[in-house]
Structure 1
Amino acid sequence: MKASQTTPWNLISGILGVTCLLLMATMGILLKNLYSKQSIQRTFSPDAITELQKGSSCCSCPEKWIGDQCNCYFFSGELKTWKESRDFCASQNSSLLQIQNGEKLHFAISSTYYYWIGLSYHKERSAWLWEDGSTVSQDLLPLVQGLRKEKCVMYSSARSVLDEPCEEKYRFICERKLI
């Protein structure tokens, strides 16, 4: 008699167990999809990226690039030397970041990392020049005056620059101008 009474309870507990497993599997799939979408967003940069400025309807950037004001930016998670960074950007039809004024990156950098940018010292011209040959703007000039000329330049979210040996490996920012 006891065996027949426990059979319905065994059946009910089995059904409840299977139901719990199905609910847990469904929840796992939903969470995986939620977090994979967030991680795709964050692959643009290894850092937390602040809100992008709106109104950049002319941008059509490649995957993992951030569009802002008709330019595309790539924030590397990979560490490279300054030359390797410059070569990577060139292979992507872009260049290392060129900052014309202190406001340029207020939309994107919000971390403690420093990034290689496209500024270097040219001995022939005795001046700090961007990759395109242009000079540093007057509002950025005070930032670079204390830098050592034999080193390469990095930029941080604190709008500060740092000089480091060019052979050291750091993150970098590529910029692709669309207009």
Structure 2
Amino acid sequence: GYSLPFAAWCPVIFSLFLLCLALTIGMTVLGLRGSKAPVGQSENLQGLKARLCLTGDANILSLPGPRCSLCPVNWKWDGGDTCFYFSIELATWQESEDYCLSQNASLLMLKGKTKLVCIAQLSARFSYWIGLSYGVDGWSWTDGTKLSTKRMDWITLSPTQNCAYLHYKAKVYSGDCLEKYPWICEKAAVQLI
């Protein structure tokens, strides 16, 4: 076979050497730029956190990492892990429940006095439908949990009126399900971690 003399290969070898050198320099520059990016990204993340995250807890911005709570537009945050929607429209109990379900939420469930106090602080001076109704098995919440009336002196219910509403004075009463009231939906806040 025929082979080219070494001198003929010199331009090819030199071109490959220059290409490798350019690639090495390029990778080094990108590597240095990439190592500086996390600092800039961290600063940007803190700025986004300050603008987007709910700040009911003044310490949330000082928490390490990007963890924060987010609620949909027009929903109120309780300072913890729950968002609440206070409607301004009027609807029957069933229409209210359907709306909450369409928002991947449920009508408000007041299974303890702590949440009642929180809601009373967030709500306006209205009565609102909540997720408590009377069925064949008695009073139960929309998640199927039976109502426990132990030490719940803030609830007054009648089996002749099958749906419950929260009165603005932090009391729960039963009412006609076809009456029209505003309602309160609740769902978990989105946690960015």
TM range (shorter): 0.5 to 0.7
Give the deviation of 1:60 after TM superposition.
0.7
For residues 38-79 of structure 1, give each alpha carbon's deviation from its aligned partner in whole angstroms, at most 9, with x where no partner exists.
xxxxxxxxxxxxxx9536954210000011210010000000
TM-score, normalisation: structure 2: 0.57
Task: Name 2:132's counterpart in structure 1.
Answer: 119
The structure-2 alpha-carbon separation of the partners of 1:82 and 1:53, relative to structure 1 and needing over 3 Å to count, comes to same
TM-score, normalisation: structure 1: 0.61
5 Å-filtered alignment, 1:158-173, equals: 158-173=169-184
Give the deviation of 1:140 after TM superposition.
2.5
5 Å-filtered alignment, 1:100-111, equals: 100-109=111-120, 110-111=123-124
Q: Which has the larger radius of gyration?
A: 2
Counterpart CA distance in 2 for 1:87 and 1:56 is 36
Counterpart CA distance in 1 for 2:126 and 2:180 is 12
Give the deviation of 1:128 after TM superposition.
0.9
The structure-2 alpha-carbon separation of the partners of 1:139 and 1:177, relative to structure 1 and needing over 3 Å to count, comes to farther
The structure-2 alpha-carbon separation of the partners of 1:147 and 1:133, relative to structure 1 and needing over 3 Å to count, comes to same
Task: Name 1:70's counterpart in structure 2.
Answer: 81
Q: How many residue pairs get matched? A: 125
Give the deviation of 1:101 after TM superposition.
0.8
5 Å-filtered alignment, 1:115-154, equals: 115-123=128-136, 125=137, 127-137=138-148, 138-140=150-152, 143-144=155-156, 146-154=157-165
Give the deviation of 1:174 after TM superposition.
0.1
Q: Give the superposed CA RMSD.
A: 2.4
Instruction: Return the letter of the residue paired with 2:81.
Output: C
Give the deviation of 1:165 after TM superposition.
1.1
Check the 8 A contact 1:79/1:169 in 2, yes or no: yes
Counterpart CA distance in 1 for 2:111 and 2:71 is 21
